[in-house]
Structure 1
């Protein structure tokens, strides 16, 4: 897939009624890895995350704590900033829907929709889930609850409506003309089925609570939290000031979301934008959910996975690697401590870590601690080097399709090939029989380790940096523009250090 010149990627803005969990970390991590990879690839990237701070659920959660909603959101929003720091996310902006820039933007969007004739005043009567901040038709209820399992309540109040029903055919035509607009395919099929089932006009204001953005010209109403929230993606790039240089970044290239909110992003959001005569994003990708050791994750079961504790236990880069490698991205996945340890000890310590350590140790021992001088390359050398150098393009293509697991699999296939090459070429034997050939083999391997270091920077930034430090690659020469610049023979190398230690579980009963 061709390298874009610019790329605007967003996470959903996270709802601040609770503390961050593994799902939040997972979504933002995928965006972070894509953003880091593309920046290394010379792309002008803008990466946005943030918090969604309005709505009845927040108002209720604040009341339970006995604090004002703004005080509550200030505290909980900070938890998401802390998560971003701990996980080493590289977002360029962090938006909060309580910020003046966003309130201005959301109200401008409302006014624009009114001017385009897409909003009218009526009254709403129907089922509403506070937890989901969503309205549900009678037919959607399952045993008296929302399809998500959330409780619903009957709501009757005056409401402004968005003419969603007018966009059914337009949306279907758009999906047909843009088959990659929704990914993966399973989510696309789900959205198509929903829209073909018929769209009703959408209630987009509330009067029964106050914590939200006032409707312009009618402050008895506040804006429906999802209309407010979705506009954040434009707020962050300057809307409504279309003369702002940042506005040239719109439309977004990718909205990354969880599968539970695909309807809002792939049906409501494009309809709002069509009605406002604004460009639509290129793609909405909805990934799956995690279970915990085979069980659905829920607070009532007490099995919520805290990403901060995972990092504390296993280290940051191994957690980042595991989350994107373990499960085909887009599918549901099961978190297992056994699998985490297996990935750390097999993929990281045994495969990549051992490759780097073995190669650099042999160079230190047999080549005077400097990059060896290679002789003529044979077919096996070319094959390994070429497979390593082809990775940048194949991994880019996978990541731009959100197939993060596939990109990582491709990298580790070359790591495995390099380990086989070590065994087949046996440089320890060549040391006695053909020292010049040994130098060539070690040079080829060192250069492959270098390419691996370049590529894993996006997934495991600290570990990639350590690998490149050991090959004395200057910090300003670590972008992909330099990935084809081979190692210079005679360069002195530092004594090798292990990058990926094995994980050894603490013995039960041992002093903590």
Structure 2
């Protein structure tokens, strides 16, 4: 590949390594260290280990049989092989059937209507609630009853612990769709003209949707999720799953809304 690009091998692999380093920032995570086998510190550590093993007569010539992985550049014994390569098992057949049925074009974007209206909701808070989360004691009932926090979190956690990350993310997106349907049905911008108390309860519930969705998005898009939670002024220490079922505090001032990838 380096020859095809007309560059030295070292330059080519340095560029590849640089791409992986950039992923750290793109993905929004941090690492304690980033080391390459070509670094002097790696070579010295390997040589030190080799010399220690050799001096203790733990390295010898012989024959070895096993499964060789070209990608990993190592041998594996049968006990090291993973049978559950596609877990859960039903997903294996599902993927096969999906491919065999013929591949079609897919959507890589969606209209803004399909996303949770964070900016719209916060704008409403500033326009009708003085920029603060409204007081709704005794008003969260009927359609404005709180979402079932425990059930929502339990389903999300189940997907995550079973490594069904796509389903976990789809679950969060579906919850966003439920919130969109709710705001369209209740139309708080109209309700404020007829019943301010009820409208405030609607806005409060929408902010709760945003809070829960923001918390669940953190493992997937940490930077964007952080911006979402910043916009509703949720304290950093309240952004854990341990605080998932706790209402956001009424009277909290919200910052002026800014466009986000989720709203």
Normalization by structure 2: what TM-score?
Answer: 0.72
1:369 corresponds to: 131
1:391 to 144, 152, 163: 152
Aligned residue number for residue 28 of structure 2:
88
| Whole-Å separation in 1 of the counterparts to 2:192 and 2:180 | 18
> Map of 1:313-352 to 2, 5 A cutoff?
339-342=107-110, 345=111, 349-352=112-115
Q: Given that residues 391 and 410 in structure 1 are in contact (C-alpha distance below 8 angstroms), is that contact kept between their aligned partners in structure 2?
A: no
Cα 1:430/1:63, change in 2 over 3 Å: closer
C-alpha separation between the residues in 1 aligned to 2:48 and 2:84?
Answer: 22
CA change 1:357–1:73 in 2 (3 A) is: closer
Where in structure 2 are the equivalents of 1:300-315 lying within 5 Å?
none
| Equivalent of 1:161 in 64, 72, 89 | 64
With over 3 angstroms needed to count, the CA separation of the structure-2 counterparts of 1:492 and 1:501, relative to structure 1, is closer
| Alpha-carbon offset, residue 335 of structure 1 | 9.8
1:100 to 34, 43, 47: 43
Report Cα offsets for 1:65-122 as digits up to 9, x if no partner.
674x6665444322322344334344555453443377469969x99xx97xxx974x
Asked if residue 432 in structure 1 is aligned to residue 200 in structure 2, the reply is no
The gaps in structure 1 that reach 5 residues or longer are: 1-17, 19-60, 122-159, 165-201, 205-223, 231-263, 274-279, 288-326, 503-512
Which structure has the highest helix share of the two? 2
Q: In 1, Cα distance between the equivalents of 2:237 and 2:47?
A: 40
Describe how 1:399-410 pairs up with structure 2 within 5 A.
399-410=160-171
Residue 499 of structure 1 pairs with residue 260 of structure 2: yes
**Corresponding residue SS for 1:161:** coil
After superposition, the C-alpha distances for 1:437-463 in whole angstroms (9 at most, x for unaligned) are 111121111111111111112222222
Provide the C-alpha distance between the structure 1 equivalents of 2:125 and 2:262, rounded to a whole number of angstroms: 21
Aligned counterpart, 1:459? 220
- Per the alignment, do residues 89 and 493 of structure 1 end up closer, same or farther by CA in structure 2, a change over 3 Å counting? closer
More strand, by proportion: 1
Residues 1:417 and 1:76: Cα distance change in structure 2 (over 3 Å): closer
CA distance in structure 1 between the partners assigned to 2:4 and 2:192 by the alignment: 74
> Cα gap change, 1:105/1:270 in structure 2, threshold over 3 Å: closer, same or farther?
farther
Unpaired segments of 5 or more residues in structure 2?
88-93
Structure 1 counterpart SS, 2:64: strand
Cα pair 1:97 1:103 within 8 Å, conserved: no
Match of 1:357 among 97, 119, 134: 119
TM-score by length of 1: 0.40
Contact in 1 for aligned 2:116/2:179 (Cα 8 Å): no
Tell me the CA shift for residue 496 of structure 1. Answer: 1.6
CA distance in 2, matches of 1:350, 1:389: 28
Q: Residues 96 and 102 of structure 1 are in contact (CA less than 8 Å); yes or no, is this contact kept in structure 2?
A: no
CA deviation map 1:47-76 (0-9, x unaligned): xxxxxxxxxxxxxx5899674x66654443
Classify 1:70/1:269 alpha carbon distance in 2 versus 1 (closer, same or farther; 3 Å).
Answer: farther
Deviations 1:380-433 (A, max 9, x none): 333x521x5533332222123232221122112221222222233332343233
Q: Is the 8 A contact 2:125 2:203 kept in 1?
A: yes
Is contact 1:375–1:439 with CA below 8 Å preserved after alignment?
Answer: no
- Map 1:245-284 onto structure 2 (within 5 A): 268=76, 271=79
Q: In the alignment, is the contact (CA less than 8 A) between 1:470 and 1:494 conserved in 2?
A: yes
Question: Paired residue for 2:242?
Answer: 481
Q: Aligned equivalents of 1:226 and 1:341: distance in 2?
A: 34
Q: Which residue of 2 aligns with 1:411?
A: 172
RMSD: 4.2
How many residue pairs were aligned?
246
1:441 corresponds, among 202, 208, 220, to 202
User: Aligned with 2:256: secondary structure?
Assistant: coil
User: 1:438 and 1:66 mapped to 2: Cα distance?
Assistant: 64
1:380 aligns with 2:146: no
